[in-house]
Structures are given as structure tokens and as C-alpha cells.
């Protein structure tokens, strides 16, 4: 079954073609970072307008790459939520119009389910059950996954998501949006001994996160450094190092705790922050000591992308799920509301 996937939940326009027999055939992505950077964050109206401009050219590009035509497509999957409502409506409207015109089914896909299943695009894929760390600009969650659609929330951020905290810390240091890659680059030259930032909520029971206090601690450190003048480049590197290490250590501690609580040895990490090399290395070191394993997508599939939507949609479309007439986008959408698939229907091949 050949499925077209469309991702327009925020500031990336993603299009992909996934075949349940042959795997990922082609994908293309346009990032709006250059549009939003001067505003220090995503401007919803600008994001929606750019999705309108880019979606069809990307679709044509993907069809050409895959050597396919519209007549080959057997279903259309699109991000129905969560996300920016205007951006979601662009993708949903286009997807359902294409599906209607082609006479094929359409299905709205949960954005975070797409991220959670993105490691399934790799050659080596995790087996169910596992614990998933979903960590991005909008979400930080730990989820027990027993199968597609079989999700139980274990813990989540009570305030800022980890990616959002990276963006805010970067802004304090005068770095551009998005902040994560810039923090990571500076952290490589930072002195690990100069600052020791707190690991929030690690001394409390449970699996919830909170990064607002760490954000305040970072601001206070920046203010103290500025008392003697402007921040030096080394000041920025040292603060970035301490901030990144605090976030990474917090995530690692909570992941180990979640695996122990659930009695599992497999962790899946997905979302934009999962591309952080320090986080990947730290998790691998920590879990190897406990004979546990971590899986994550290729860097190109960590951020929002059409491939993950095409894959997730293919699993559900192949199981017979379809949009109804009353289907609508959902800016807020708990994953626990998703219907489960039986293990036999969660099929697919690697990219």
C-alpha cells in the first residue's frame, strides 16, 4: 500500500511516500527557520502561509524522486494534531482534497505518534513493548508503548518542554532561534567544572519533568556574569555546557527510572531534542550498564518530517482506519485517545 504523508503541524513542511512492502521511497522537507528567526520563535500566520506555498512543490519533488505518479497513491496521511491550528488546517485541507480527487482514503495522524514510530524507519527497529521518551520543542513525555495505539503516559513536563527550555536559554545567551543546535555547539567548548546547574525534580519520586526552575537558574547565572560587563564568549560556552548537561542528566535519570519501574530493557527516543549528540551518548552509556538498549531515528527524522507521518498513517490505513465526514484537526490531542492496532497489523519494512 503506497501512502502519501503530509506534515504541517508547525514550522516544517514535510512530504513523503511510504510503501508497506518496499519501505520509504522518497521524502522532502522545507524548514521555515529562516522565516521565523528574526522573531525569536514561530509566528503562526507566517507558518500557515508558507505551508501553502511549499506543499505542492514538495509533493511534485517527492513523486519525481520516487518515480511514481498520483495514480499510484493508495492513501493520504496528514498531521491532524497536536500543533498550530492554522498550520494543521493547511495540511488537512490539502490532504483531504487530494484524497477526494484521487478516490483514495485519507487519515489524520497524531503528530507525536509519528515521532514515536519514527525509529521504525530504521534498519534496526525496536520490538514492543518499550518505553518512549518524546522530547521536542513542544513536548517532553515518557510513555509506555505496548503496540501501536497502546500508550500509557508515565510522566510529562509540568511546564516548559525540554526543547522550549533550550530555546529560552539560547535567547538569554543572545543566540538565534532555534536554540538547541546553538547551545550544543557552544557546549562543546565549555568548561564542565565552572558551573553546576541543578537537575530539576530528580530527587522526587515519579516521572514528571520541570524545566522552569532550570531556566530561572540559567538567567540568574547570566545576570551574575554580566555584573562585570558583557558576557564573554567563554561565559556563553560555560553556561551552555552546564545547561545542556543539566537537561541531559535529568532526562537520563528519568529514563532509567521509567525502565526500572516498567520492568523493560528497551527505550525509544524521538523528537527534535533526540538529535542532541550528548543526550544520545549519555543514554547509551547509562543504559549499557543495565543491559538495556536505546533506539532513535536518523537525525533527518528527529525533527518534524513527512516520513514519520507516512509510516504511522500506513499502519493505520492498512488496518482499515479512515477519516469520517466529521474529522477535524485537533491542536490538543492526548495520545491515550488513539485506538489500538493488533500486533499483527503493525507491519512495515525499514527504509
276 annotated to bind ligand? yes
pLDDT per position as a tens digit, 62-111: 999 999 999 999 999 999 999 999 999 999 999 999 999 999 999 999 99
Q: Is 137 annotated as a binding residue?
A: yes
Q: Give the pLDDT confidence of 232-266 residue by residue, as tens digits.
A: 999 999 999 999 999 999 999 999 999 999 999 99
Q: Tell whether 115 is in a known binding site.
A: yes
Q: What is the pLDDT of residues 25-40, one digit of tens each?
A: 999 999 999 999 989 8
Query: Percentage of the chain surpassing pLDDT 90?
Result: 90
Name the nearest CA neighbour of 319 among 118, 149, 126, 139.
149
**Residue 135, marked binder:** yes
Distance (Å, rounded) from C-alpha 99 to C-alpha 73?
9
Angle between helices 179-187 and 277-288 (to 10 degrees): 70
Question: Which DSSP string corresponds to 99-136?
Answer: HHHHT--EEEEEHHHHHHHGGGGSSS-PPSSEEEEEES
Q: What are phi and psi of 97, to 5 degrees?
A: -65, -45
Residues 6+ apart with CB under 8 A from 18: 2, 3, 5, 24, 25, 307, 310, 311, 313, 314, 348
| Residue-range domains of the chain with CATH | 2-117+302-337 (3.30.420.40), 127-296 (3.30.420.40)
Question: At 342, is the pLDDT very low, low, confident or very high (cuts 50, 70, 90)?
Answer: low
Query: Binding residue per annotation — 136?
Result: yes
Query: Binding site annotation covers 180?
Result: yes
Amino acid at each position: 500500500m503506497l501512502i502519501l504523508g503530509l506534515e504541517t503541524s508547525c514550522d516544517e513542511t514535510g512530504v513523503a511516500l511510504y510503501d508497506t512492502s518496499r519501505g520509504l521511497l522518497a521524502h522532502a522537507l522545507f524548514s521555515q527557520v529562516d522565516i521565523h528567526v528574526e522573531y525569536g520563535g514561530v509566528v503562526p500566520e507566517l507558518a500557515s502561509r508558507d505551508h501553502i506555498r511549499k506543499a505542492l512543490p514538495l509533493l511534485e519533488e517527492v513523486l519525481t524522486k520516487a518515480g511514481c505518479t498520483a495514480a499510484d497513491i493508495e492513501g493520504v496521511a496528514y498531521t491532524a494534531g497536536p500543533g498550530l491550528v492554522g498550520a494543521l488546517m493547511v495540511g488537512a485541507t490539502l490532504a483531504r482534497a487530494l484524497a477526494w480527487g484521487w478516490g483514495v482514503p485519507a487519515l489524520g495522524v497524531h503528530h507525536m505518534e509519528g515521532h514515536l514510530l519514527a525509529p521504525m524507519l530504521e534498519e534496526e527497529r525496536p520490538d514492543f513493548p518499550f518505553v518512549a521518551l518524546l522530547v521536542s520543542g513542544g513536548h517532553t513525555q515518557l510513555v509506555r508503548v505496548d503496540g501501536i495505539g497502546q500508550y500509557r503516559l508515565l510522566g510529562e513536563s509540568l511546564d516548559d518542554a525540554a526543547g522550549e527550555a533550550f530555546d529560552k536559554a539560547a535567547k538569554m545567551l543572545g543566540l538565534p532561534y532555534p536554540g538547541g543546535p546553538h547551545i550544543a555547539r557552544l557546549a562543546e567548548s565549555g568548561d564542565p567544572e565552572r558551573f553546576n546547574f541543578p537537575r530539576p525534580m530528580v530527587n522526587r519520586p515519579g516521572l514528571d519533568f520541570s524545566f522552569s526552575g532550570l531556566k530561572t537558574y540559567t538567567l540568574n547565572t547570566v545576570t551574575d556574569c554580566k555584573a562585570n560587563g558583557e558576557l564573554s564568549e567563554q561565559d556563553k560556552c560555560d553556561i551552555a555546557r552546564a545547561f545542556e548537561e543539566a537537561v541531559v542528566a535529568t532526562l537520563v535519570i528519568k529514563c532509567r527510572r521509567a525502565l526500572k519501574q516498567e520492568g523493560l530493557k528497551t527505550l525509544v527516543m524521538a523528537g527534535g531534542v533526540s538529535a542532541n549528540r550528548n543526550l544520545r551518548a549519555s543514554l547509551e552509556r547509562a543504559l549499557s550498564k543495565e543491559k538495556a538498549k536505546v533506539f532513535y531515528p536518523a537525525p533527518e527524522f528527529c525533527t518534524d518530517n513527512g516520513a514519520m507521518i507516512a509510516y504511522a498513517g500506513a499502519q493505520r490505513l492498512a488496518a482499515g482506519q479512515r477519516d469520517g465526514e466529521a474529522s477535524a484537526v485537533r491542536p490538543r490531542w492526548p495520545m491515550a485517545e488513539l485506538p489500538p492496532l493488533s500486533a499483527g497489523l503493525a507491519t512495515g519494512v525499514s527504509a
